[in-house]
Amino acid sequence: MTTSHQFGGQWTDEKLDRLRKYLHAYRTIFTKNPRAAMLRTTFVDAFAGTGYRQSPKAASAQTLPLRLDDLPVYDDDATLFQQGSARIALETSPPFDHYLFIEQNPAYIAELEQLRQQFPAVAQRIEIVQGEANATLQDWCRRTNWRTNRAVVFLDPYGMEVEWATIEAIANTQAIDLWVLFPLGQAVNRVLTRSGPPQGGWSDRLTKFFGTADWKNAFYRPSSQMTLFDEEEQLEKGASFEQISAFFLQRLNLVFSKVADNPLYLRNRKNVPIYLFCFAAGNPKGAPTAIKIAQHILGN
C-alpha cells in the first residue's frame, strides 16, 4: 500500500456490509437458476478508490469546499486500513463473470492494479478503467448487449458527482441493480442554503444532479418578510432531511422498475444523516426478488 486513501467511519462499514451481503445473494441466485446462469454478470464500482481505506483517527473535514469533487470524507471513529468495495467485490463467492472498476485518480488506479494481483483466480475478469465515472458508465451502458448481460452497479461518490443522466442510462438498460449513496447531509442539504435557493453554479449543479429544476419548488416555499418600508416575498428553505430523501427516492421511482422503500440513513457521530444508501432494481422480471432481498438486507 503506497497511496493513502482516507475516508469513512462506522457508517462506511454499515454501507459495505450491505453491499457484501447483496453481492453474495445476487451471485448465488444467478448461479443456482439455470436460465439466469446463462447471463453474464458484471459488478461495476464506478468510484472504486483503491480497494482498501485508511481512516485517520483525528482528522475532520466538515466544511463545504468550493469544489465538491475532491471532498474527503473523514469521520474520526474509524479504524485503520479496512477493506474497500473493490476488494469486497472480488471476495464475493460465487464470483462475478466480470468486474469493472472505474476511478479517475491515477495513483488509485495503480493500487487497483496491485489488488488484481492478489486475486489470481479472477484476475482475467477484472477491467480497470481510469476515467470519469459518468462518461465511462454512460458509454458502457450504451455499448453493452443487455439481452445477454446483467449487472450490479455501485455508485459511491464523496458528494454530488453522480449526474442524473447516468442514473437514467443505468435504469434504461432494464438490466442493472443499483446501489447508490445519496449525499444527503454531506452535500445536498448544505448546498440548499436557508436564506434562499442557491444561484449560479450550485443551482446548475443541483439541477444536473436531480435531473430536474423542480428541487427549487420541492425544497423552498414563499414567505413574507417585513422590511423597513414594505412587505417582501422571499423564498425560504422548507425541507427536512426526510423530505430531501423522499424527493430523491421519487426521482428513482420514475425511472426504475422498483425502489427499496427503506433506504439506510448513514449517520456520523453527531447523529447527522450524512448519506442515504439507496437500492433500485432495473429489470422488470427480476425486480420483485431483488427488492425483497435488498429490503431485507437494508433491514430497518
Ligand X SMILES: C[S@@+](CC[C@H](N)C(=O)[O-])C[C@H]1O[C@@H](n2cnc3c(N)ncnc32)[C@H](O)[C@@H]1O
Smallest gap from residue 235 Cβ to ligand X (A): 31
- Check residue 273 for interaction with ligand X (CB under 6 A): no
CA angle 242/247/249 to nearest 5° reads 95
Smallest gap from residue 248 Cβ to ligand X (A): 18
Q: Binding segment for ligand X among 140-148, 154-162, 163-171, 229-237 (CB under 6 A)?
A: 154-162
Beta strands in the chain (DSSP E): 40-45, 52-53, 82-83, 98-103, 126-130, 149-155, 176-182, 220-226, 231-237, 258-259, 264-267, 273-281
Amino acid at 207: T
Other Cβ atoms closer than 10 A to 96: 24
Choosing from 43, 99, 108, 209, the residue that interacts with ligand X (CB under 6 A) is 108
- Check residue 9 for interaction with ligand X (CB under 6 A): no
- Check residue 53 for interaction with ligand X (CB under 6 A): yes
- Check residue 47 for interaction with ligand X (CB under 6 A): yes
Q: C-alpha cell of 230?
A: 414594505
- Check residue 13 for interaction with ligand X (CB under 6 A): no
Choosing from 85, 173, 257, 268, the residue that interacts with ligand X (CB under 6 A) is 85
- Check residue 156 for interaction with ligand X (CB under 6 A): yes
Chain-centre distance for alpha carbon 143:
22
- Check residue 75 for interaction with ligand X (CB under 6 A): no
Place of cell 479496512: 82
Binding site for ligand X (CB under 6 A): 7, 45, 47-49, 53, 69, 84-85, 102-105, 108, 132-133, 156-158, 161
